[in-house]
Chains A and B, each alone.
Chain A
């Protein structure tokens, strides 16, 4: 039996008196792309932040490659964070640096100062996300989709074992969304990374997912394949899949 790369058990988180995660259980297996669906404000991004130690749970456990990470101190998390790349919702590019320096940042921080090596790796990373030729632009001059692609180039320049995508297609037009979805698939096939994609975009889910989980009221309500999700008769799943609000229309 394959051991999960990330094993989450009974994760509980409260923010401002509200229980966001209520005992969430989930396993992420090596090499798979798991899509986590759920309503906006349902705790998907909060959950993602726990996986990289940006938030600490009230209770519960997250085991990454056999190590419990919820009890680690900030500096003890650094070796784990080097193995996990994260794409933030709006890219979170460093606005004082241009595209080249943003993408080169992780390399330089990990001790690579040879300009030729840095140039070559940045060029390769930017080519993977179709952003060649934009090296000297500042983040403020990039569109939302371009920012996300640069952020992805930054996340993959030192190839991680896992990539966490926070709403990779939110706010993008269908064409750019499609290019991001293809990119996620391409990264999985080329770099063999394990991916967790948080989204509420069903099109994106169908394009990239090996497995799908639905987060509802702080717990995993459904876990299965995209086909099982489409065939499910559970009203909560159907509302989500069919895009129904559940409210009466007058």
Chain B
């Protein structure tokens, strides 16, 4: 009995949170399906989320690709496998690092801002004012952000991976002396469309996680400025953990659809 109460005490909040997230996502997709889309707000959010996040995502991708290339080269050089550096870095960027790092950076930059903005609206009664004016907060606040995030995230992932691979090429070929032809040939040989698909699917899923966690935390904010701060922190922590945990399960599941090493 005591074990059960400890178990339920531990897992009830998690299950409740998952339930709320699922309901918010269901409500959002329901609104999208019914055409309750505000194009102006969605375009503004795409600019904020997609365009505004480019620098941070591109820099993250480029330097991750560069440092991963250097480290892989130092290890592989002792085995005379320098030409494997390109495909290893490219596959890692496509399948894991690109989507996960983009997700983490966007969660920190956009998720936190989203939750702070909606949370401030909540504690200053602006969301009540929306409701009082017969405007559904999910339609007005969540739908444009969700659409913008689901459109922007796969593009940001591609940019992150693209810059990572370019940086890898530059460091591998021009700094560390790997033969450029071998680098490119091996990247082409070992990289397939399925790797790009995996990257895009992960970007899409992580985008969904970030936007629904951020909006939920914002919509639940209470107790003034302290509550908004709490919601923002919870957004970054929960989104980051959700991305890392989901990434593992997505990798396992997507590997069934797009098996690695079958070339």
Is B one of A's binding partners?
Answer: yes
When C-beta atoms are compared, the residue in chain A nearest to B120 turns out to be A95
Which chain B residues numbered 122 to 166 have a C-beta less than 8 Å away from chain A? 124-126, 128-129, 131-136
Complex Cα gap A52–B128 (Å): 10
Other A-B pairs, 8, CB within 8 Å; known A53-B131, A92-B124, A95-B124: A49-B128, A75-B136, A88-B129, A95-B120, A95-B126, A106-B133, A109-B135, A154-B133
Picked from A54, A79, A90, A95, the residue with its CB within 8 Å of the CB of B132 is A54
Report the minimal beta-carbon distance from A80 to chain B, rounded to whole angstroms: 8
Which chain A residues numbered 63 to 90 have a C-beta less than 8 Å away from chain B? 74-75, 77-79, 81-82, 84-86, 88-90
A29 within 8 A of B: no
Which chain A residues numbered 144 to 195 have a C-beta less than 8 Å away from chain B? 154
Complex Cα gap A93–B127 (Å): 10
A222 within 8 A of B: no
Q: Is the CB of A88 within 8 A of B125?
A: yes
Q: Is the CB of B129 within 8 A of A94?
A: yes
Report the minimal beta-carbon distance from A157 to chain B, rounded to whole angstroms: 10
Q: Which chain B residues have a beta carbon within 8 Å of chain A's beta carbons?
A: 120-121, 124-126, 128-129, 131-136
Taking CB atoms, residues of chain B closer than 8 Å to A52 are 131-132
**Which among B129, B131, B135, B136 has the greatest number of chain A C-beta atoms within 10 A?**
B129
Number of residues on chain A facing chain B (CB within 8 A)? 25
Taking CB atoms, residues of chain B closer than 8 Å to A75 are 136
Taking CB atoms, residues of chain B closer than 8 Å to A78 are 134, 136
A240 within 8 A of B: no
Complex Cα gap A89–B133 (Å): 15
Q: Is the CB of A109 within 8 A of B133?
A: yes
**When A92-B125, A95-B126 are in contact, do A82 and B134 touch as well, CB less than 8 Å?**
yes
Q: Is the CB of B124 within 8 A of A79?
A: no
Report the minimal beta-carbon distance from B114 to chain A, rounded to whole angstroms: 13
Taking CB atoms, residues of chain A closer than 8 Å to B120 are 95
Q: Is the CB of A92 within 8 A of B129?
A: yes
Report the minimal beta-carbon distance from A13 to chain B, rounded to whole angstroms: 16
Complex Cα gap A92–B120 (Å): 11
Taking CB atoms, residues of chain B closer than 8 Å to A89 are 125
Complex Cα gap A154–B134 (Å): 13
Taking CB atoms, residues of chain B closer than 8 Å to A74 are 131, 136
Report the minimal beta-carbon distance from A119 to chain B, rounded to whole angstroms: 18
Complex Cα gap A147–B48 (Å): 28
Complex Cα gap A105–B125 (Å): 16
Q: List 22 A-B contacts (CB under 8 A).
A: A52-B132, A54-B131, A74-B136, A78-B136, A81-B132, A81-B133, A82-B134, A85-B132, A86-B129, A88-B125, A88-B128, A88-B129, A88-B132, A92-B128, A92-B129, A93-B126, A93-B129, A94-B126, A94-B129, A95-B124, A109-B133, A154-B133
When C-beta atoms are compared, the residue in chain A nearest to B139 turns out to be A75
Which chain A residues numbered 99 to 114 have a C-beta less than 8 Å away from chain B? 105-106, 109
Complex Cα gap A94–B129 (Å): 8
When C-beta atoms are compared, the residue in chain A nearest to B130 turns out to be A94
Taking CB atoms, residues of chain A closer than 8 Å to B125 are 88-90, 92
Picked from A54, A86, A90, the residue with its CB within 8 Å of the CB of B124 is A90
Report the minimal beta-carbon distance from A198 to chain B, rounded to whole angstroms: 14
Q: Is the CB of B134 within 8 A of A79?
A: yes
Taking CB atoms, residues of chain B closer than 8 Å to A81 are 131-134
Complex Cα gap A88–B125 (Å): 8
